[in-house]
Amino acid sequence: MPRFAPKLLAALFLAATTSAEAQELSLNAFGDLNYGYRFGDPASQSDAEAFAAFGEDIHPKNSHSGFGLVGTDFVLTADLPWDMVYLGEINFQVERGQQSEFEVDVERMFLEKRFAEELNVQAGLFFTPVGYFNRTLYSRAFLMTSAQVPDLFEEELGVVPTHTVGLQVHGQVSPGAEHRLGYALSVGNGRAKDPIANVYARDDDGWRSVTAMLEWSAPWANEFRFGVSGWADRIRSYRVTQLGEVRDTLDPTTESMRLRELGLDAHLVFKSRWVNLIAEGVYQRHDDDLGNLPAPEADTRVLGGLVELSANIGPEGSIKPFVRYDRVDLPDNAGPYLGLRSEEELITRVFVAESSMGIAGVTWDPAPSWRLKLEYSRAFTGPREMNAVVAQSAFAF
Amino acid sequence: MIKRISRRLLAASLVLAALTQQNTARAGRQLAIVVNRGASTSSLTADAVKSYFLKQHKQWPSGEKVRPVQQESAVHAVFLSKVLKMSGADYERYWLERKYSAAETPPKTVEDGAAVVKFVGAMNGAIGYIDVGELDAKAREKLRVIHVVSY
């Protein structure tokens, strides 16, 4: 996410809210406070050593040891004339790996024209229409059951492209009896030379990413959705093979690479009076497009997913015991692309770990806008300590 | 003797009448889902009403935009539990999620049944709810009842 001077951002935000002559404005805020305690040996000693030498922050941002402020998120929605809607979302957050620094992020900023239920057109910065977690819960603690963002959808790991700048067309048709078939199709700037760099203002690589999603919603229980989505992109980057190696992209000896990225996602959501299930899986592949990569790098696969099961008990279902399992399987060395990080003209390779984690906990909603969580997580692979306990107070209003 | 029996009969009748009235009042309260008189829709299922108020569907079959309106009064709680089958907390959370994920805002809120009559009566595509007791002849001229639930 881009870093802006807070004053400039505030001015832009204010200008957007006042000049648009909005018919109806709505401002919401999301935030959370955490206390975490991690203990035990690393789940994988070799991963811990590799991480210590070449890694970035290993912990999900909500589960460091000690007290933690993750951030506060402000979402402004304005219903404008001519069936237009503006949404601006600004996040004051602690970046993963920077435990003492806040930054200002523009999470989303788009204008949407609502022509009909079947056709809406969105332009700007939006969540890539992939799956359920990324579009619906994203990383807002208040909306999630667990305190921890799954690695698969962690923006700062870059496995799934969480945001897109571009155009999105979306809508729904009704086959009957309150069933709905929703769709989304987006074209955007796509991936940069490393997976966590964003391409907001320009995209010089000559290709745009394309994402498509179909989702069926049925009037069963409180909520039922099943959806499939996929994205395709071409990535222009540089070949950096050794952990810790730094290459200058202006150096003619630095080898270029071009990759074709294809991702597929399937999700199932079922929420009833008593139980809730969220299941989502992702398959992603990177294929050499120039023909200059050796065999292990030329064709790599990522598999990941999460399954969460929770129950609704207590007054009005306000207490939710839950279990969740997260997993991300990476190719050797995280493949040719996912381990790259860039800063200006320099590009390096960091250690990115696979993860496999089980979480069990309970949430309690003392009020509709306040959620308390207590959970234990066990890391089965990767450099993290095996055990963690996290308490969280998440709010929205 | 006859006088005493008459008195007892009268007392019993009064008690019976009072009980009947009470039961009628308790059993007879109804909530009406209403649309503008000019709407093409003549009836709706409870699921359809729910989908319009939750903005899961935003157009009538005719293509007209759906304009749901909700009340601040006590009838709102009845509407949530009997029609939407949601608690107040569920409803609040639902709109927080919808605002976040889809930039959708909750239905327009008005003060009471009279304001619902005024809004729905004046606005094409509007849908609201009102206690049947508030549906007088003047209101019925402007509105069409498309679904009724007892409470």
Q: Is residue A136 part of a domain?
A: yes
A238-277 residues touching B, CB cutoff 8 A: none
- Do B59 and A135 make contact, defined as CB atoms within 8 angstroms? no
Q: Is A386 or B21 the better-scoring residue by pLDDT?
A: A386
Burial A302-337 (b: 16+ CB within 10 A, else e): bbbbbebbbbbeeeebbebebbbbbbbebbebbbbb
Residue A2 pLDDT > 70: no
Q: How do residues A153-185 score in pLDDT, each as one tens digit?
A: 988 889 999 999 999 999 999 887 789 999 999
Q: How do residues A190-204 score in pLDDT, each as one tens digit?
A: 898 999 887 666 676
> In this predicted structure, what is the pLDDT of residue A267?
98
> Looking at chain A, which residue has its C-alpha nearest residue B100?
A75
CA dist B80 and B94 (Å) reads 12
Secondary structure (DSSP) of A247-300 = EETTSTTSPEEEEEEEEEEEEEEEE-SSEEEEEEEEEEEEEESSS-S-HHHHEE
Q: What is the CATH number of the domain that holds A166?
A: 2.40.160.10
pLDDT tens, chain B, 151 aa long:
555 555 665 555 555 444 444 444 445 789 999 999 888 888 888 889 999 999 999 999 888 899 999 999 889 999 999 999 888 888 999 999 899 889 998 999 999 999 999 999 999 999 999 999 988 888 888 899 999 998 8
Q: How do residues A253-264 score in pLDDT, each as one tens digit?
A: 999 999 999 999
> In this predicted structure, what is the pLDDT of residue A282?
98
Best residue in A77, A128, A313 for a mutation probing chain B (most B CBs within 10 Å): A77
Choice among A64-78, A94-108, A126-140, B54-68 with the minimum mean pLDDT: A94-108
Q: Provide the H-helix boundaries in chain A.
A: 6-19, 45-54, 295-298
Q: Is A99 or A144 the better-scoring residue by pLDDT?
A: A144
A211-230 residues touching B, CB cutoff 8 A: 217, 219
> In this predicted structure, what is the pLDDT of residue B10?
54
> In this predicted structure, what is the pLDDT of residue A56?
77
Q: Is residue A327 part of a domain?
A: yes
For residue B105, which residues of chain A lie inside 8 Å, CB to CB?
24, 26, 77, 79
Cβ–Cβ < 8 Å for B92, A369: yes
> In this predicted structure, what is the pLDDT of residue A177?
75
> In this predicted structure, what is the pLDDT of residue A240?
95
Q: Is residue A1 part of a domain?
A: no
Q: What percent of chain A has pLDDT over 70?
A: 89
For residue A143, which residues of chain B lie inside 8 Å, CB to CB?
96-97, 100
Cβ–Cβ < 8 Å for A211, A191: no
State the average pLDDT over residues A206-231: 93
CA dist A74 and A31 (Å) reads 9
Q: How buried is residue A265: exposed, middle or buried, by Cβ count under 10 Å (0-12/13-18/19+)?
A: buried
> Looking at chain B, which residue has its C-alpha nearest residue A88?
B103
| ipTM for the predicted complex | 0.81
- Do B99 and A75 make contact, defined as CB atoms within 8 angstroms? yes
Residue A350 pLDDT > 80: yes
CA dist A271 and A310 (Å) reads 9
Q: Does A368 touch chain B (CB under 8 A)?
A: yes
Please compute, for residue A129, the number of CA atoms within 13 A of its CA located in the half-sphere on the CB side. 25
Range of the domain at A326: 6-396
For residue A385 the two structure tokens come to 């300590």
Q: B29-150 has which CATH code?
A: 3.40.190.10
> In this predicted structure, what is the pLDDT of residue A202?
66
Q: Is A52 or A118 the better-scoring residue by pLDDT?
A: A118
Average pLDDT, chain A: 88
- Global pTM reads 0.86
Give how far Cα A288 sits from Cα of A193, A245, A297, A315, A349, Å.
15, 21, 8, 55, 18
- Do B105 and A135 make contact, defined as CB atoms within 8 angstroms? no
For residue A177, which residues of chain B lie inside 8 Å, CB to CB?
47
> In this predicted structure, what is the pLDDT of residue B55?
93
Choice among A49-63, A65-79, A350-364, A379-393 with the minimum mean pLDDT: A49-63
> In this predicted structure, what is the pLDDT of residue B39?
85
For residue A107 the two structure tokens come to 């999470």
Helix, strand, coil percentages, rounded to 5, for chain A: 10, 55, 35
Burial B39-55 (b: 16+ CB within 10 A, else e): bebeebeeebbbbbbbb
CA atoms A210, A194, A296, A250: torsion sign: positive
Choice among A4-8, A289-293, B50-54, B134-138 with the minimum mean pLDDT: A4-8
- Do B90 and A140 make contact, defined as CB atoms within 8 angstroms? no
Query: Total domain count for chain A?
Result: 1
CA dist A154 and A195 (Å) reads 11
Residue B101: which of A116, A136, A142 has the nearest Cβ?
A: A136
Q: Is residue A22 part of a domain?
A: yes
Residue A65 pLDDT > 90: no
Q: Is A360 or A2 the better-scoring residue by pLDDT?
A: A360
Cβ–Cβ < 8 Å for B115, B71: yes
For residue A87, which residues of chain B lie inside 8 Å, CB to CB?
103
The pLDDT confidence band at residue A137, using thresholds 50, 70 and 90, is: confident
The domain limits of chain B are 29-150
> In this predicted structure, what is the pLDDT of residue B24?
44
Q: Is residue A107 part of a domain?
A: yes
Residue A24: which of B57, B92, B105 has the nearest Cβ?
A: B105
Rg of chain B taking only CA atoms, in angstroms: 20
- Do A368 and B99 make contact, defined as CB atoms within 8 angstroms? no
Residue A18 pLDDT > 70: no
> In this predicted structure, what is the pLDDT of residue A3?
47
Q: Is residue A83 part of a domain?
A: yes
State the average pLDDT over residues A125-146: 90
> Looking at chain A, which residue has its C-alpha nearest residue B88?
A368
